[in-house]
Copies of this chain bind each other. A is one copy, B any other.
């Protein structure tokens, strides 16, 4: 994932409705959720949801399939994972040891890639 794609993904996720939709789809799993159900659950108009779904699709964060009359949307786990990777790379760029001071969750950089003492001169 390059900066351009990441920008597109961040833009898509930077809107309340869209972030909620993505989270709903992630929780729903590969089964997905039809557009109408999304609108219903979120109390939004069909056209508004459609607008945001298109935006998410453009960013490659979701995919869709027709199932009878409904169009069922699913989270794009691949794209989300790539975004995580992009962020991690950024987070670690040139300064792998920084991660250690970050938090207790090993959120940034796999431990195996850490360098013992990366002397950073301030």
| A→B interface (CB under 8 Å) | 3, 6-7, 10-11, 13-16, 19-20, 22-23, 26-27, 29-31, 77-78, 80-85, 87-88, 90-91, 93-95, 98-99, 101-103, 105-108, 110, 120-122
Contacts and interface: CB of A to CB of B under 8 A. Distances in A.
10 contacts: A3-B23, A7-B13, A7-B14, A10-B13, A31-B121, A80-B91, A80-B108, A81-B99, A81-B103, A106-B110
Contacts of A84: 84, 87-88, 91, 107-108
Given A13-B10, A19-B3, A26 B78 contact: no
Nearest to A95: B29
